[in-house]
A and B are shown apart, each in its own frame.
Chain A
């Protein structure tokens, strides 16, 4: 699935613009004013990111993308897009986050169900305004015709692809910031060069939407190899993508001292023989975040493997356990020298 989505994303970069013109349909462009103006648009359709929202068909300056290792959200299918205002481009900043021009937007739709049974649940948008990024959640209506601003978030019952019946939480605007925050400012998380394929980046350069493919691009492993690939890079990529937006200096969980970023090479900061600080019952009776060779005595894995509020990590965006993620991190800790 993920590789397929990646290929589709690549195809869309190549042909998306051409398709829009070739069909000869007179499609109004993205509503750049809605992206930049100070108000919060009430409906997702107000932005015109999609020519067909229900089918997630992007408008001409909206480009799909995929991540090598994605953030897991109860197994939701995620459809990711970047909008760039006409005449602008992304600027690479090493292996890190691509730099977005003011007026750009990042759009991510969450869906559950396969084929004709697919239901769009929510679309989260990050709008790059002159005074910084704004994160807003939109909830899809029952008819799937549009999504409406859900500032206060919401809940709905659904069954995950793994078969778990959960109460799915659409985050409120503040919770968007809880993850998308560094030093108190809202920032994107996903589109780092290291977590984007070289092919996609190269295509973006080719169409003028990116200045260059930076050194360090495409260095995170492809998560589709999670069952058999080397555990260490997969686990570190997983922790970087799923945990490090809070667990890093300046992030929401900075006070824990746990730093799970890909580039962190201090083993204590990553959690090896690190004692808990404010974990409470989340410690599960264990002494260390990671005890090498002993995944079942490691707080980090204990919290990943729980869906219980107050114990479960991440605190937001999950109501069930990611068994694939747990398996990789378990393998990594078990293999550690001790």
Chain B
């Protein structure tokens, strides 16, 4: 306790201090020792977790700017929340300029790592996993930055999330790259966010690989300016195990890359293979809504050069089997619901892809109203300013 009092006095003094390193070992009292270190850290400090299994009963939280929390590696430093008794996530970050790296989190009761209002955060070389595989009783999101400006997720592995493995919501200036999302409902989801870059990831064995959504009724709406490129989205055919009621519970199994609502989304240079419903699904928001700010339609979604193969053979849609049979055994790579904003074109296909339109007539209609026909989307995609897409460049300096 003396150390606490001493540290508290130091923390409270206004004089600038040299950054310190606080090393925490697993074992008896790890919950209190680690949480205390997170509370008493000064801006710039590093909290270093030794190798081993930290058995934790309560969610951790960090509210100090500029702190790095790091383990030895994602294989050797394990935060084990299997016996968690409280809090909505394993780790909650509410401060800016935080770096999280080189540890693994297992079986948090709610979400894995949530950062809220935490600008310029870096997540790197982390694993967040539910060890029992796909299960509706797993937490919703593994990596969950929300309401933040400046998000860099690089080199993480997420699995088992009952909503999205990597979920970025109501944020801007986002990069998600070099990561693996497997056996989640949604592998990677960018929701109600702008200026996001999703590249060099593998999304496999999820229900849906990569989703770009915009939903009504939230404090931040109007998602767009998103680039999805150089990813592999393969074999995302896991039956949807999301708890009913959640928006991703409506994502058909077998979805490769999906855009719902949003404006200015560029999808190019991806390999999208063996997704049984559709490699590319572009749709309007499916539910009724009451939000005058909200545009439910996709606008300027561009599907450029991609490799799409082996998809559309068993669409997880009402009447999907007949549709595939009618189209020669598989529906073509681009599936559009047929809905669009009267002012702005929904979709451009500049790659050499065939597609199908369901020709829905009104937002909110379902497959029973579909009158499928061959899609003829224009190829003269507009250009827009992409200079702000992605996390601020300086965040990469923390990937060491």
Contacts and interface: CB of A to CB of B under 8 A. Distances in A.
Interface of A: 37-40, 42, 148-149, 151-155, 167, 169, 172-175, 177-178, 184, 249, 252, 254-257, 268, 274-287, 299, 308-310, 315-316, 319
Contacts of A283: 243-246
Given A255-B147, A281-B140, 6 more contacts: A155-B58, A172-B58, A174-B38, A177-B63, A280-B162, A309-B109
Contacts of A177: 63, 94
A310 B245 contact: no
Contacts of A282: 110, 140, 243
Contact of A39 (B8, B87, B137, B162): B8
B9 A39 contact: yes
A254 B219 contact: yes
B2 to A, nearest CB: 9
B110 A280 contact: yes
Interface of B: 1, 4-5, 8-9, 12-13, 31-33, 35-36, 38-40, 57-58, 61-63, 84-88, 92, 94, 109-111, 116-117, 136-141, 144, 146-147, 162-163, 167, 169-170, 215, 217-220, 243-247, 287, 290
Contacts of B117: 184
B39 A172 contact: yes
A52 B85 CA distance: 34
B112 to A, nearest CB: 11
11 contacts: A148-B1, A151-B8, A151-B36, A174-B61, A254-B147, A278-B163, A280-B141, A280-B162, A285-B245, A315-B110, A319-B85
B132 to A, nearest CB: 14
Contacts of A257: 217-219
B9 to A, nearest CB: 5
A38 B109 contact: no
B219 A280 contact: no
Contact of A281 (B39, B62, B136, B147): B136
B96 to A, nearest CB: 10
Nearest to B110: A310
Mostly, the A contact residues are: loop
Given A257-B218, A310-B139, A155 B88 contact: no
B116 A276 contact: no
Which 7 A-B pairs rank lowest in CB-CB distance, beginning with the nearest? A280-B140, A38-B12, A283-B245, A309-B109, A174-B61, A315-B88, A310-B109
Contacts of B94: 174, 177, 184
A309 B84 contact: yes
A256 B167 CA distance: 14
Nearest to A149: B4
A280 B139 contact: yes
B368 to A, nearest CB: 19
B389 to A, nearest CB: 22
Given A281-B140, A284-B245, A252 B116 contact: yes
A8 B218 CA distance: 44
Contacts of B219: 249, 254-255, 257
Contacts of B116: 252, 255
Nearest to A166: B85
Nearest to B289: A275
Nearest to A318: B86
Contacts of B85: 155, 167, 169, 309, 319
Nearest to B87: A315
Contacts of A254: 147, 219
A193 B87 CA distance: 30
B147 A152 contact: no
Nearest to B81: A309
A276 B92 contact: no
Contact of A151 (B40, B92, B147): B40
Contacts of A309: 84-88, 109-110
A299 B244 CA distance: 11
A148 B2 CA distance: 12
A313 to B, nearest CB: 9
Contact of B32 (A38, A152, A268): A152
B61 A280 contact: no
Contacts of B218: 255-257, 277
Contacts of B5: 39-40, 42
Nearest to A268: B290
B243 A285 contact: yes
Contacts of B140: 278-282
Contacts of A149: 4
Contacts of B35: 151-153, 172, 174
Contacts of B62: 174
Q: Which of A155, A249, A256, A280 has the most CB of B within 10 A?
A: A280
Contact of A178 (B12, B31, B61, B290): B61
A281 B36 contact: no
Nearest to B10: A39
Contact of A276 (B13, B32, B39, B246): B246
Contacts of B13: 38
Given A155-B58, A174-B62, A177-B63, A280 B217 contact: no
